């Protein structure tokens, strides 16, 4: 019923210019994806090195497109020129949407959202790429919560089709419709979900990780589990490898958020393999070792 209601409403913002806050793994990827689909993006960070890395990554991705014949030299040059790295909010007055992708810290996000809202056009939309913070909580720092929602991309942004569009209590249908349209323009597959711990994907993923860590506790060989889930069951990778990609720090934090949100279903009675990896600094690919050793 809700879906039909949203579909019946039209988007009230046609996104032609975007601003991404944060030029890290996600912000850089979001700016690239937007620019590669014809929506210029301002990429704002507080750290010049992060901006440099974000641009390098975008140039690399455009270069791959050129190498595999997906884009022309002109399209590559145009795409790169349409990402504007900056340390200031100077050009925010012309933006249709702000996608916040700064560090996963509620206090930092609240202050960034508040500041940007006071500088951007009143009718522009503001989204957060948070993985674990409640959209309703973040909305409390804003004057126009009806123009705010979650826009949760997955890593790596250019490869993962899904984007969760998270509706807060006060988000308007027009905002949701506009963000759905922008995600589609970016070549992504949006799903609209309500605000709750884990949104949609982590509510599926974390019980799966929980099942996996219990199997390991019962004596299963994690490499065998991965082999069966990937080679035989047909998923792109098994749970141990996926946890190495996600990172034990991120995974552990998300597991805590899920346990807090759903204590009856997601609480643990003892440490699991993710905790043990984390305590031994084996965060996964980012530290060179997790379940597997890299490099």
Q: Which is nearer to ligand NAD, 155 or 287 (CB)?
A: 155
- Residue number of the CB atom closest to ligand NAD: 24
* 108 binding ligand NAD? (CB under 6 A): yes
- The size of the interface with ligand NAD (CB under 6 A), counted in residues, is 24
Exactly one of 19, 95, 130, 175 binds ligand NAD (CB under 6 A); that residue is 130
Which one, 27 or 190, has the nearer CB to ligand NAD? Answer: 27
In the residue annotation, 152 being an active-site residue is answered as yes
Q: By CB under 6 A, tell whether 242 contacts ligand NAD.
A: no
Q: Using the rule CB under 6 A, which residue among 103, 219, 269, 295 binds ligand NAD? A: 103
The first and second tokens of residue 46, run together, are 């507080």
44 makes contact with ligand NAD (CB under 6 A): yes
Residue 21 binding ligand NAD, by CB under 6 A: yes
Asked if 71 touches ligand NAD (CB under 6 A), the answer is no
> Should residue 102 be labelled a site residue for ligand NAD when binding is judged by CB under 6 A?
yes
Instruction: Tell how strand 83-86 and strand 189-194 pair up.
Output: unpaired
Q: Which of 94, 152, 158, 253 is catalytic?
A: 152
Q: Is 12 in the site for ligand NAD (CB under 6 A)?
A: no
Residue 198 structure tokens: 């884990």
- For ligand NAD, the binding residue among 18, 26, 229, 266 (CB under 6 A) is 26
Instruction: Determine if 23 is a binding residue for ligand NAD (CB under 6 A).
Output: yes
Answer yes or no whether residue 118 interacts with ligand NAD by CB under 6 A. Answer: no
User: Which residues of this protein are in contact with ligand NAD, per CB under 6 A?
Assistant: 21-27, 44-47, 50, 101-104, 108, 112, 129-131, 153-155
């Amino acid at each position: 019923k809700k879906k039909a209601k949203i579909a019946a409403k039209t988007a009230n913002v046609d996104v032609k210019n975007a601003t991404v806050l944060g030029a890290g793994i996600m912000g850089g990827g979001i700016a690239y994806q937007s620019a590669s689909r014809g929506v210029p993006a301002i990429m704002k960070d507080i750290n010049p090195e992060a901006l440099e890395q974000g641009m390098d990554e975008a140039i690399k991705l455009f270069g791959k497109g050129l190498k595999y014949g997906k884009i022309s030299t002109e399209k590559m040059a145009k795409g790169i020129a349409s990402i504007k790295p900056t340390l200031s909010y100077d050009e925010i007055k012309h933006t249709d949407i702000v996608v916040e992708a700064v560090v996963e810290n509620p206090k930092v996000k609240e202050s960034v959202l508040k500041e940007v809202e006071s500088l951007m056009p009143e009718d522009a939309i503001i989204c957060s790429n948070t993985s674990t913070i409640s959209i309703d909580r973040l909305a409390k720092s804003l004057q126009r919560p009806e123009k705010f929602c979650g826009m949760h991309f997955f890593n790596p942004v250019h490869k993962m089709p899904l984007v969760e569009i998270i509706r807060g209590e006060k988000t308007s249908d027009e905002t949701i419709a506009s963000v759905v349209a922008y995600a589609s323009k970016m070549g992504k597959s949006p799903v609209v979900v309500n605000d709750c711990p884990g949104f949609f994907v982590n509510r599926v993923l974390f019980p799966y990780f929980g099942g996996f860590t219990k199997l390991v506790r019962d004596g299963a060989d994690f490499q065998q589990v991965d082999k069966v889930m990937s080679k035989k069951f047909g998923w792109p990778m098994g749970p141990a490898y996926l946890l190495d990609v996600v990172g034990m720090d991120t995974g552990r934090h998300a597991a805590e958020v899920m346990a807090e949100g759903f204590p009856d279903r997601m609480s643990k009675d003892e440490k699991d393999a993710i905790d043990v990896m984390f305590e031994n600094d084996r965060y996964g690919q980012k530290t060179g070792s997790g379940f597997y050793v890299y490099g």
